[in-house]
A and B are shown apart, each in its own frame.
Chain A
Amino acid sequence: MKKPRILKNGIAVAGLILIFLYVMISIVSIFYLPFDPTAMDAKAILQAPSLSSGHLFGTDEFGRDVLSRIMKGTSVSFIISVSATAFGAVVGIFMGVWAGYLGGRIDNIIMRIADILFSFPSLLLAIFIMAILGEHTYNVVLAIGIVYIPQFARISRGSIIALKSNEYIRAAKSNGAGRSYILAHHLLPNITAPLIVQISLSLSTAILLESALSFLGLGIQPPNPSWGNMLSSARKVMLFAPWTAIYPGLAIVLLVLGFNLLGDGLRDILDPRLRNVR
């Protein structure tokens, strides 16, 4: 069997490897963690990373092992990122596709709603929603998901509009094909390319958004570890215990990088114009 296109692209592969690494860590963390992530140890407060103490990434202001907390935070980050993106994508694509296909007043109304959501900077909107709903994990998913709706709506609408005027669509219509049939069989399959790219972008941004929210105290609440709230509590000690800030941040960077590499590689594959210029 021929090698799938995706594996030929070095960048996408690099991304997949990083993501896979994190998935592994996430799974492992269910069964094994070097230390209990919420166990406090008054004798081990703010210890620098060392092999002998077993705290490979050091300890935080309560004596908790940083590495264990980072590992525990991995599953949380994944779940939030995937759920929020799924929510935003499903609702956004639904809105955008109907708006694009039906046009007219419905299009106007749907896009007005999307515009109103879109008129807030993402972080501000998420902060606002979290303030109203309260700081629970499921609300973080909701908040980020709502932020994503307009983007998915716009992209899917734009693609549908561009496709609608296509020859074969008109042919299908004149042959008597029903609306839903055309939608399902001709339109949807062809808008997947830009959506896939947007999805990978959203997965990466979701992690950044969640950590920003937790950083500001509006996301995952301590003592549950989230990379964002670890960075937040590290703020006051980071000048003399930099490891408490460096490692959680690094964890964020590498996972987000993984999603971004994947998205980039996918874009390379799916957008033939950019494949080779010379």
Chain B
Amino acid sequence: MATTIGIWIAAGLTLFIYSFLYKDNPFYKFAEHLYVGITAGYWLIYTWAYTIQPMLLEPIFKNKEFILIIPAFFGIIMLTRWFPSISWLSRWSIAFTVGIGAGLGVTGSIQGFILPQLRSTILPITGFNFATFNNLLIIFGVITTLIYFYFSKEHKGVFGQGAKIGMTFIMIAFGASFGYTVMARISLLIGRIYFLMFDWIGMLFGK
């Protein structure tokens, strides 16, 4: 019974959202606002269940890891943003998190991205075959794309020609991305239509 009611609710909310396709209307606005409110509540419960309880309260009170009072303090002073007179305290928490992110980012981007990607662009150009052609195209494509995005030098002469070729590669990449984006969006639509047809209408016909 609960499942039946749930499927009706889900179908109803789905159709409320789709009513926007005809025109903006109160049903759509209701569904949209409900979604935001429910998601906010969900995040809050998650924060308690998967951050505060297992990572803070239990280690402090069960395992006596009192040093965790320090990040708890930093977390609480993050909330001082609500009070203008003491909101400067929240900068300490932000500085801590930003510092960690920046520090990890420096080594991560070099070791995890820049070096492996550069290494993989240095490809063999031996023999007169299709693999060599592909490798040349890859090297050329990476270099000309980087030239296109280098705006500190005017795109004139040979540099300008390189930028134009880079633009060609970029257009191919964006075209491919557009094709995949269409695929993604249609997939989401298929998922919802599948639910409406087989879970909701199928339920009405007892399937």
- Whether chains A and B associate is no
